[in-house]
Amino acid sequence: MKKKLRAIVLGATGATGQELVKQLLYNSNFSEISVFTRKIFSIDHEKLNKNKIDFSKLYNYKPLVTGDVFFSALGTTLKDAGSKQKQYLVDYTYQYEFAKMASDNGVENYSLISSTGANEKSIFFYPKIKGALEKSVQKLNFKTIQIFQPPTLIRQPELMRAGEKIGIKVFKGLNKIGILKSQKPLHVRDLAKKMIAESLLKQKYRVTIYKSYDILS
């Protein structure tokens, strides 16, 4: 009988995180899903373990960070964070420290949502910290690592910002005339589906980076 897997989801209250949890709960390959959130998680399910945590005291929760697959969907914007320092905490520090705890606890598979253009040498702040995170987590002791660099994401209607709606319309218009097809907007449910599917496959390489066209195909 095939072993049932235990999943960990960081960022479960975000757009993609919500989809990951929803799909994992109804995926027969997973027997347990543990979420770690800053606020109360509203979903209840027999397979779900809910952990409301204080991110300033992450290591208090290290004994709870156990499982087979760690999905990291945490992230924020500069506007929501309020400063570059606070955005760095969420998009690099918290994610790296959590990944390190998972790695130290023997979690074998790590699945990370990064960003198109992630590059630690970028002159732009956001892709620079995403690139730095990608490089740092690859040094941890995970058996396999999947890094996803998605295009513009189509989030749930209640989470969409006005600027995002406009951007998606622009991209869709350009796509229709054959421009920037590799950056075709992607719904978060499709990203979540791809992440879960890849986590179940035997990976050819220890680290696999999925560009926009890899996720869309």
pLDDT by residue for the chain (217 residues), tens digit each? 578 999 999 999 999 999 999 999 999 999 999 999 998 888 999 999 999 999 999 999 999 999 999 999 999 888 889 999 999 999 999 999 999 999 999 999 999 999 989 999 999 999 999 999 999 999 999 999 999 999 888 765 455 454 544 444 544 444 544 444 555 678 899 999 999 999 999 999 999 999 988 887 6
pTM of the model: 0.87
Q: What is the pLDDT of residue 171?
A: 42
Q: What is the pLDDT of residue 152?
A: 82
Cα–Cα dist 93/10, whole Å: 13
Would you give the distance in Å from CA 49 to the centre of its chain? 18
Report angle CA 150, 185, 23 to the nearest 5 degrees. 65
- Please state which CATH class domain 5-153+187-216 belongs to: alpha beta
Cα–Cα dist 149/141, whole Å: 21
Number of Cβ atoms within 10 Å of the Cβ of 80:
11
Q: What is the pLDDT of residue 166?
A: 44
Q: What is the pLDDT of residue 165?
A: 45
Q: What is the pLDDT of residue 130?
A: 97
